[in-house]
Chain A
Amino acid sequence: KAGVTQTPRYLIKTRGQQVTLSCSPISGHRSVSWYQQTPGQGLQFLFEYFSETQRNKGNFPGRFSGRQFSNSRSEMNVSTLELGDSALYLCASSDGGRDNSPLHFGNGTRLTVT
């Protein structure tokens, strides 16, 4: 089975721009969640999508949004980029069940905002 695929791997944007990151989950997985990883804040949960619906949301401003398509692929969008948005963005998929369904992570997208 192919793993979780995130594209692009690296991205450089300037302040004020917007960006869209993509995540393809493991085949059969219906849950996709997104995390922001920075040296200062560590790993922080952004949101989770399950069957095209946002199921959980972390404590991030509305500039951060996402969506999930019928094939479970997910996109994350960040509008009006700020320097502090520079981070590694990790996507993870699971089968979505609450019963000890572990997350499988992608390699992440490294976003640099200048």
Chain B
Amino acid sequence: AQTVTQSQPEMSVQEAETVTLSCTYDTSESDYYLFWYKQPPSRQMILVIRQEAYKQQNATENRFSVNFQKAAKSFSLKISDSQLGDAAMYFCAYMAWDMRFGAGTRLTVKP
């Protein structure tokens, strides 16, 4: 079974600072995809960043980047220059044949 673990239920960061959200996963598949989704109070899940497991290069999307360690099955999200609008629940997700989500990390951004 594939499981996704987010060990940080809550995180806090000062505006303009950098924060890293952790995610580990368990799988026996060799080909899969990893995602970070953001869920603000509006409830809509928004794709933040994605990573193909076969790519060694870490994905980057503006202020968001990942540290993908395939051997360690680790997929952390780094948010640089945090903004108030980044406050949300962040879900790490794994996809091989269906999507599995972690429990989420609630990120608070302090002004």
Q: A residues engaging B (CB < 8 A)?
A: 33, 35, 42-45, 48, 56, 58, 88, 90, 92, 100, 102-108
Contact = CB atoms under 8 A, between A and B. Distances in A.
SS class of chain B's interface: helix, strand, loop or mixed?
A: strand
B47 A48 contact: no
B43 A42 contact: no
Contact of A105 (B33, B45, B102, B104): B45
B64 to A, nearest CB: 14
Nearest to B6: A42
Interface size class of B (residues with CB under 8 A): 20 to 34
Contacts of B97: 56
A103 B99 contact: yes
A43 B42 contact: no
Contact of B35 (A56, A102, A108): A102
Contact of A100 (B37, B43, B46, B52): B52
B98 A105 contact: no
Interface in B21-69: 33, 35, 37, 42-47, 50, 52
A58 B41 CA distance: 26
B77 to A, nearest CB: 15
**Chain A to chain B: the 10 pairs with minimum beta-carbon distance, closest first:** A105-B45, A43-B101, A56-B98, A42-B103, A107-B44, A108-B43, A102-B47, A100-B33, A45-B98, A100-B52
A110 B97 CA distance: 27
A104 B102 CA distance: 17
30 contacts: A33-B98, A35-B99, A35-B101, A42-B101, A42-B102, A42-B104, A43-B91, A44-B101, A45-B98, A45-B100, A48-B98, A56-B98, A58-B98, A88-B43, A92-B45, A92-B99, A100-B50, A100-B52, A102-B47, A102-B50, A103-B35, A103-B45, A103-B47, A105-B37, A105-B45, A106-B44, A107-B42, A107-B43, A108-B43, A108-B44
